[in-house]
Structure 1
Amino acid sequence: MRKRLAITLSLMMAASIVAGCQAKSEDKLVIAARGGSHVTAMEAVKAEFEQKHNVKVEIIGLESADLKQKISLDAKNKNGAYDLIMADDPWMPELSEAGIFANLTELGVEEDADFEESSLALGKHPYQTGDLYALPFSGNVQLFFYNKQLLDNYNAEVPQSWEEVLHIANKAHEEDNLIGYVIRGQQGNPIVSDFLPIFWAYGGQVFDEQWNAQIDSEAGQQALDTYIQLAAVGANYETTDIVSSVSEGRATMALGWPSWFIAGETASADYAPIPSKATANGAAASTGMIGNWMMGVTANSQNKELAANFLTFITSSDTQKKLVEHGGVPTRKSVYLDSELAAKYKHFPIMLEALQNSVARPRTAKWSRVEEALGVELSAAIAGTKSIEAALSDANKAVNEIMQ
């Protein structure tokens, strides 16, 4: 009897040990990520962390709108389905105010001076000054793309002002019937992202310090007039045609995100930071629109400390150097300035320069609504259904109503 009891107890203990081992081996972190290259890059490097921490890292890739919706819905659950989430930087004020992110400062994640300052600021709430709620996972900033052969044909240097851009665009259109400049004039995010760098160059700001709209201003009128003149000697295209027209020499210049024109080491057009001046003799301003993908730990994660460890790992300089080889975009200065990487990825120094002179879209939780309202009025001005004055006046009114 005693022998049988001992055997039974031994079997129970063995089963318990096996069960414990199985439970431990099944521990996992779940990441809700922007699908595509971000997922591919993380999948390529996650094994090191999995082996060190005996954990499985599951990465769920989603389209942008679907990602935001799922993040918001899951935040209502006591026990979240996601331990880490990626967020487009304009979402940060909205998601932070909703309490969706865990406070990284309280989790012991320290600010690292190696992160590009403009990128790191995006993860703080309040913006720039508050605690850290997300780290910059993927750096991005708009650049000025041009066809070098065409600029050479007109003996033109890379323009430093929008006055020079318009001069070259007019010349290409009048002399060779080419597309002088390509705008991205579709309503909403496309036209607003395309217009704001010009607006900033003229000294414009969407809001004053009290969140009153400043779109209907001298800067707004000058910038929109320039934008309409560029459209008159150019074309209004969507992304694919913007890239092909500049790359193939049918158009001279356009704004764009690096991923449109640059794949790995290969760029289909030449590039530079966005012109920082309105006129050749004007004052310089920051004009590069920053567009980072951030990553943070969810407030309802059941494994916050391990999730914070993964976040530190995936954004470390060593990991970022590996991510680059799989399509990742750095957010650390040391990675951009690494001599071997800079020799291979020749756009890195230009991107770092643009990031260090970049502008974040206004940090309000209502930005998506503001962007939509502004985009409607800008599109009306481009189409000629409203005058510049009427479009800007109506935009100012609509934005103020949203902010109230």
Structure 2
Amino acid sequence: MKLSKKAASVLLAVAMTASVFGCGSEQNNTPANADISITIAARDGSFTDVLNSVKGEFEKEHGCTVKVFSMSADDIRTQAISDSSNEVAAYDIIMIDDPLMPEYIEKGLLCNLTSLGYADDEDFVEKSRLLGKDPYPLGATYSLPFSGNVQLLFYNKNLVDTNADLTNWNSILKICQEANDTGKKGYVIRGQSGNPIVSDFLPILWAFGGDIFDSNNNVILDSQESRDALEFYCKLLATGANQDKDDLVNSITSGEGALALGWPSWFISGNGTAAEIAQIPGKRIASSEALATGEIGNWLLGVTANSKNKELALELAIYLTSEEVQRKSLESGGIPTRKSVFRDPEVLAKYPYFEAIYSGTNNSRVRPRTTKWSQIEEVFGKELVSCINGEQTVNETIKKSQEEISLLANK
């Protein structure tokens, strides 16, 4: 029977409606989202392991595929910036090292999640939750906290007495000198140019009362506090060694090295922590005022502004940062960002070191919220490396760093 034009139009409209509203339903036993892939540019190592261990349930529930691309931190940034100029994003979700948030916002990489209808989840640890906001700390939400990294002090219990005073840097220097006297490495630094050495040095700079910027974003690095901090950093290095991340971790866990700053994701797996943990000292000497010194370094999940599947990508980001998934991810070395997970007595009984991470997060401080942070790390790191290599004095290093950072900040 031949259909009238009107009847044909009605049937076409019904078919289109079924197609549009069939998300998650089945037609001919095929999920409506079967051909949809949500792609994630993820930090390599344990972060990727966690994502792959928990994505299956989301794929099953939403009838889609989640593809995780494992990359270095530098590669994620390079790919994210390059991809932002494309009409359609290659990556629907990018994992973000929190200091890069201002740069990503300025370049228009991220979707405003608040405008998509996302409401803040107060179960996130506050300092973690605020990292995803722009303007920081009270603006709209652009990313959700996935991994609760915060810089801490890691040490080998065979070289450092459990009753040792780890509350001030002067005491730590003595401990490291004693370890060095026995033929061991005292203090191990991560002194490679750029992010490694800057992240390694900043907590000491802060503990000595120095900083890079003041509250008005003026560069204030050229100070006596900065000189004292850098001289002290060189003294610590003299007791130990300059190693890359993997060698540093091996030194502390094997007992070749006594102390180092690090991130929990380096030392923690589903089997537990491979070293003892303490808060980074906020005091220069025992009688000093205690200052916030531990860098917060959460990894966040943001939806790209040019994703063609923003709503589904946001659902995935919410799922990956949910309490349920955070609990599951603990078995793969995940580090929570939720108070409900951190404070659960059963979780703490199994992972007692979460107490130190939770405390460290609540007492942490953010790195400068500037769109130039990557460039600042590059120039400052270069000068710090020249100093620890004996190529220039502490005074020269601080003066040159002040000049170069000021030039960047004023561009």
Amino acid at match of 1:159: L
Alignment gaps of 5+ in structure 1: 4-8
Q: Secondary structure at the match of 1:391?
A: helix
Amino acid at match of 2:103: E
Q: 1:196 to 1:20 in 2, by over 3 A?
A: same
Which of the numbers 69, 72, 76 marks the counterpart of 1:60? 69
Which of the numbers 129, 134, 158 marks the counterpart of 2:138? 129
In structure 2, the partner of 1:27 is 36
Aligned-partner Cα distance in 2 for 1:266–1:312: 26
Shift of 1:27: 2.8
Aligned-partner Cα distance in 2 for 1:306–1:289: 32
Asked whether 1:170 is paired with 2:154, we answer: no
Q: Report Cα offsets for 1:121-156 as digits up to 9, x if no partner.
A: 11111121211000011110111111222223xx85
Amino acid at match of 1:85: I
Amino acid at match of 1:164: S
Q: 1:27 to 1:187 in 2, by over 3 A?
A: closer
Q: Which moved more, 1:134-143 or 1:54-63?
A: 54-63
Asked whether 1:248 is paired with 2:254, we answer: yes
In structure 2, the partner of 1:369 is 375
Which of the numbers 74, 90, 94 marks the counterpart of 1:81? 90
Shift of 1:221: 1.2
Aligned-partner Cα distance in 2 for 1:85–1:183: 29
In structure 1, the partner of 2:194 is 188
Asked whether 1:297 is paired with 2:289, we answer: no
In structure 2, the partner of 1:285 is 291
Q: Secondary structure at the match of 2:122?
A: coil
Shift of 1:272: 0.7
Q: Report Cα offsets for 1:160-215 as digits up to 9, x if no partner.
A: 000111122223334x2432211222221111111101111112221113322222
Amino acid at match of 1:39: T
Shift of 1:90: 1.8
Q: Secondary structure at the match of 1:107?
A: coil
Asked whether 1:140 is paired with 2:149, we answer: yes
CA RMSD of aligned residues (A): 2.6
Aligned-partner Cα distance in 2 for 1:25–1:80: 19
Which of the numbers 181, 193, 203 marks the counterpart of 1:197? 203
Aligned-partner Cα distance in 2 for 1:24–1:323: 25
Contact 1:162–1:278 under 8 Å retained in 2: yes
In structure 1, the partner of 2:23 is none
In structure 2, the partner of 1:107 is 116
Q: 1:107 to 1:237 in 2, by over 3 A?
A: same
In structure 1, the partner of 2:101 is 92
Q: Report Cα offsets for 1:243-285 as digits up to 9, x if no partner.
A: 2322233322111122222222333321111111111000111
Q: 1:56 to 1:252 in 2, by over 3 A?
A: closer
Q: Which moved more, 1:310-319 or 1:46-55?
A: 46-55
Aligned-partner Cα distance in 2 for 1:222–1:61: 40
Q: Percent identity between the aligned chains?
A: 45
Aligned-partner Cα distance in 1 for 2:400–2:77: 29
Contact 1:142–1:289 under 8 Å retained in 2: yes
Q: Secondary structure at the match of 1:25?
A: coil
Q: 1:40 to 1:147 in 2, by over 3 A?
A: closer
Alignment gaps of 5+ in structure 2: 3-7, 20-26
In structure 2, the partner of 1:238 is 244
Shift of 1:399: 0.5
Aligned-partner Cα distance in 2 for 1:276–1:386: 28
In structure 2, the partner of 1:6 is none
Q: Secondary structure at the match of 1:311?
A: helix
Aligned-partner Cα distance in 1 for 2:163–2:257: 15
Contact 2:265–2:335 under 8 Å retained in 1: no
Amino acid at match of 2:173: L
Amino acid at match of 2:64: V
Q: Secondary structure at the match of 2:185?
A: coil
Deviating 4+ runs (over 6 angstroms): 15-20
Contact 2:269–2:332 under 8 Å retained in 1: no
Q: Secondary structure at the match of 1:145?
A: strand
Contact 1:136–1:315 under 8 Å retained in 2: yes
